[in-house]
Amino acid sequence: MTDLASTEAAAGTALAETDDGTARLHRNLFVAIAALLVIAPFVAYPVFVMKVLCFALFALAFNLLLGYGGLLSFGHAAYFGMASYVSAYTAKNWGLTPELAILLGTAVAALLGTVFGALAIRRQGIYFAMITLALAQMVFFFSLQAPRFTGGEDGIQAVPRGKLFGLVSLADDRALYWLVAAIFMGGLLLIYRIIHSPFGQVCKAIRDNEPRAISLGYRANRYKLMVFVLSAALAGLAGATKAIVFQLASLTDVYWTMSGEVVLMTLVGGLGTVFGPIVGAAVIVAMQNYLATFGAWVTVIQGVIFVACVLLFREGIVGVIARAIRKPL
């Protein structure tokens, strides 16, 4: 994992955690993001922005695990997809209000993350990636096999957006947008908090040198599991929200290519940077949307971006910017 760490160190994060200038910069960035969120639905198409936000949160959650826990999961679609099924199912069949459906979806993802995480963190590197992939494939198999719950390949369709707290109707895109924006902002702030908490520092120490962290008395596996569960839960939050936005949950969300997509988003945006995954998700989702008319070229273009990122900008877009301004982002 040393190289991933060194990439991030090059981006400068490890250096200046307590630097006042950095803290101020980050505060300003948060204000800027909040401002963008307020303006966005008036400038861009709200449903599109909501999609970007859901995937951005998903990528942020994934990045928490890879960038700060040093663990590459190749099966994050499992938590994303399972949560979206749970939230779609409960909103549609149990008539839960959207916030409860989303919370329940997140809780199930956290639970799933606890079980899978406990199994997976016992291994490292490529083995860890393979175990998470294998476990995610089982979730996919389950989703395919349980049509009563998941609707098979038709998915769960026509999920009602419902009324927030039973009061505010979310049928209007703008109304729903504010909820999604709030969830996203909450998720982002939480992740930022986690990274800069003592807990986050220990995670980074473990990522950089596990034996050393253990010798200092930290129970590495417990920290790893914690960060894994947090990441799974946040991925679930993103998936559950997406189900309400699009009013559907489908097999696409649990398929292994979804796990690959989130890796791509994080890589493009900048591994181990706080804000990178947001940029990465925006770029990839925009590509899917606006290149939709190019047909099969979409895959080719995605592939080229993947290759270019690995060869030329391993730090990702935000990583490059961070290096240029010599401040961690």
Partner 1 sequence: MKLTTFLATSALAAMLASPAFAQQISIKAGVLNDRSGLYADLSGEGSVIAARMAVEDFKAADKGIKVEIVSADHQNKPDVGSTIARQWYDQDGVDLILDVPTSSVALAVSQITKEKNKIMINSGAGTSDLTGKACTPNTIHWTYDTYALAQGTGGAMVKAGGDTWFFLTADYAFGHALERDATAVITKAGGKVLGSVKTPFPGTDFSSFLLQAQASKAKVIGLANAGGDTINSIKQAGEFGITQGGQKLAGLLTFITDVHALGLQAAQGLVLTEAFYWDKNEQTRAWSQRFAKLNGGKMPSMVQAGVYAGLLHYLKAVEATKSKDTATVVAKMKEMPTDDALFGKGSIEVNGRVLHDMYLYEVKKPSESKGPWDYYKLISTLPGKDAFQPLAESGCALVKK
Partner 2 sequence: MFELLGIPPQALFGQVLLGLINGSFYAILSLGLAVIFGLLNIINFTHGAQYMMGAFVAWMALNYLGLNYWVALVLAPIVVGAIGIAIERLLLKRIAHLDHLYGLLLTFGLALIIQGLFRNQYGSSGLPYGIPPQLAGGQNLGFMFLPNYRGWVIVASVVVCLATWFLIEKTKLGAYLRAATENPTLTQAFGINVPLLVTLTYGFGVALAAFAGVLAAPVYSVNPNMGGDLIIVVFAVVVIGGMGSIMGAIVTGFGLGLVEGLTKVFYPEASSTVIFVIMVLVLLVKPAGLFGRPA
Instruction: Please report, as ranges, the residues that interact with partner 1 according to CB under 8 A.
Output: 45, 47-48, 51, 144-145, 147, 151-155, 157-158, 173, 242, 246-248, 250-253, 288-289, 292-299
Nearer to partner 1, 110 or 251 (CB): 251
Q: How far is the CB of 45 from partner 1 (least distance, A)?
A: 5
Alpha carbon 13 to chain centroid, angstroms = 20
CB 239 within 8 A of CB 81: yes
State in angstroms the smallest separation of the CB of 318 from partner 2. 17
Tell me the C-alpha distance between 69 and 61, whole Å.
Answer: 11
Q: How far is the CB of 260 from partner 1 (least distance, A)?
A: 14
**Contacts for 23-27 with beta carbons within 8 Å, 24 or more apart?**
25/327, 25/329, 26/192, 26/274, 26/329
235 vs 103: CA distance, rounded Å: 12
Residue 288 interacts, among partner 2, partner 1, none and using kind-specific CB cut-offs from 5 to 8 Å, with partner 1
- C-beta closer to partner 2: residue 85 or 246: 85
Give the residue with the Cβ less far from partner 2, 21 or 125: 125
List residues bridging with 249 in a β-sheet: 156
Is 299 a binder of partner 2 (CB under 8 A)?
yes
Q: Rule CB under 8 A: which of 259-288 touch partner 2?
A: 260, 263, 267
Q: How far is the CB of 311 from partner 1 (least distance, A)?
A: 24
Q: Phi/psi class of residue 272: alpha, beta or left (left: φ > 0; alpha: ψ in -120 to 50)?
A: left
- Judged by CB under 8 A, the chain residues 96 through 115 that form the site for partner 2 are none
CA distance 171 to 257: 30
How open is the CA angle 321-323-327, to the nearest 5 degrees? 90
In the list partner 2, partner 1, none, the entry touching 131 (Cβ below 5 to 8 angstroms by class) is: partner 2
Q: Is 131 near partner 2 (CB under 8 A)?
A: yes
The distance of closest approach from Cβ of residue 104 to partner 1 in the complex, given in angstroms and rounded to an integer, is 20
Closest approach, Cβ 307 to partner 1, in A, equals 19
Task: With CA atoms as reference, report the closest residue to 7 among 304, 181, 266.
Answer: 266
The closest of 320, 229, 302, 310 to 4, measured between CA atoms, is 310
Which one of partner 2, partner 1, none is in contact with 134 (Cβ closer than 5 to 8 A by kind)?
A: partner 2
- Residue recorded with tokens 């101020």: 24
Amino acid at 228: F
Q: Whole-number minimum distance, CB 299 to partner 1, in Å?
A: 6
| 72 interacts with partner 2 by CB under 8 A | yes
Question: Which residues, in sequence order, are CB contacts of 26 under 8 Å at separation 6+?
Answer: 192, 274, 329
Provide the 8-state DSSP code for 294. G
122 binds partner 2 (CB under 8 A): yes
Helix 77-93 crosses helix 125-145 at what angle (to 10 degrees)? 30
- Considering the rule CB under 8 A, would residue 244 count as an interface residue with partner 2? no
CB distance 203 to 8 below 8 Å: no
Q: Which is nearer to partner 2, 170 or 271 (CB)?
A: 271
Q: Which of 45, 94, 127, 165 binds partner 2 (CB under 8 A)?
A: 127
Q: How far is the CB of 298 from partner 1 (least distance, A)?
A: 6
Distance CA 104, CA 136 (A): 20
Residues that bind partner 2 (CB under 8 A): 1-4, 72, 119, 122-123, 125-127, 129-131, 133-135, 137-138, 141, 145, 256, 260, 263, 267, 295-300, 302-307, 309-311, 314
